[in-house]
Structure 1
């Protein structure tokens, strides 16, 4: 079983999709060993507790600065034995030392078809606001490996979602989550975990 740590900053709907997929057997050979958030009010922490998964909150404020925060985050990942790190709505810029420590083993879900509407400043509703402003007819989501750039790592999976007339950023965000994010992220984890197990045999 591959040990997975999930980093999340908000409600944790992608986390819930992962947990449901494990329960339903859609993600094989994986277990979530820790949920880590930088936001003490993140509902994702409650989702983890309800599922019997250790939930950890690490904030810059409590750590007293970025360097100490980064060190605490790396320690939390090592302490839980994480072999795969999943960014599921995580608004923390992952420090280079963690990316190097887990090279090729950190994945992120982004709510657009990269390379569109990605990079610095493109997160949450902002992505969908820009997509609507630009007038695109199709958007979607992307799962990619995290490297030292912003949304620049190798793409693993993408799924397109239609933009409908009358869409608001909120309605488009919801549809992208339902039709792409909640499907892609579990699929990518299963893909990685089954390959990792088979290659270890």
Structure 2
């Protein structure tokens, strides 16, 4: 079967995009192919990662649209051009509107740097998640891949992977360990599983 075309949405460095690209190159992402990268910022280093791999990239920034409705409508138009069937959020800091959520219902996934529902929801992103985990004194954290719906970090959980918190951890060291041990392993595997399920639906 033809692999599922994936659009990876980014805003910053794109380390999870890189993990997906590496998985595709290694043959671990067989049921999907990364067909497009969409960034909320023209300065995102993730765009350079996409360019280096020859992946088409586009910037859709809120400031370039007169209204939220116009901004929201820009996504399906672009995604339709590339025949996208799955959206993978990878450090995408913008909030998707109802038009996108409805058009791609059940076909938007995200990786979050905690074991949801812990340290999830509005305001929990990046280092803030790890700061909160350390402040709470948890001994185990990790990453979660979940479907995206209208509730921030509230969609159905697809997979989780635990990571130990070490004595002396800082938010930065914990973030790096969660990325290496959980996010970069879990996200490609979960993306492959979702793409495989979409292909089975086609069969």
TM over 0.5: yes
State the TM-score, normalized to the length of structure 2. Answer: 0.96
What residue number does 1:130 align with? 132
**Superposed counterparts of 1:108-119, under 5 Å:** 108-119=110-121
What residue number does 1:170 align with? 172
What residue number does 1:180 align with? 182
Q: Deviations over 1:37-77 (max 9, x none)?
A: 01111011111111111010111112234222211122112
Whole-angstrom distance in 2 between the partners of 1:145 and 1:126: 21
Query: How many residue pairs get matched?
Result: 201
What residue number does 2:64 align with? 62
Q: 1:48 aligns with which of 47, 50, 59?
A: 50
What residue number does 1:146 align with? 148
* 1:91 partner SS: coil
* 2:70 partner SS: helix
Q: Give how far 1:119 is off.
A: 0.5
Whole-angstrom distance in 2 between the partners of 1:68 and 1:168: 41
**Superposed counterparts of 1:18-37, under 5 Å:** 18-37=20-39
Whole-angstrom distance in 1 between the partners of 2:14 and 2:33: 17
In structure 1, the gaps of 5 or more residues are none
Q: Give how far 1:159 is off.
A: 0.3
* 2:145 partner SS: strand
Q: 1:5 aligns with which of 7, 16, 21?
A: 7
Supply the RMSD in Å over aligned alpha carbons: 1.0
Q: Give how far 1:199 is off.
A: 3.4
What residue number does 1:157 align with? 159
* 1:113 partner SS: coil
Q: Give how far 1:195 is off.
A: 2.3
Deviates more, 1:136-145 or 1:77-86: 77-86
Q: Give how far 1:149 is off.
A: 0.7
Deviates more, 1:73-82 or 1:173-182: 73-82
Whole-angstrom distance in 2 between the partners of 1:167 and 1:5: 34
Q: Give how far 1:196 is off.
A: 2.1
Q: Deviations over 1:142-183 (max 9, x none)?
A: 000011111111100000000001111111111100000001
* 1:139 partner SS: strand
Q: Give how far 1:89 is off.
A: 0.7
Q: 2:103 aligns with which of 101, 104, 109?
A: 101
Q: Give how far 1:103 is off.
A: 0.7
Deviates more, 1:24-33 or 1:153-162: 24-33
Whole-angstrom distance in 2 between the partners of 1:126 and 1:73: 28
Q: 1:193 aligns with which of 168, 192, 195?
A: 195
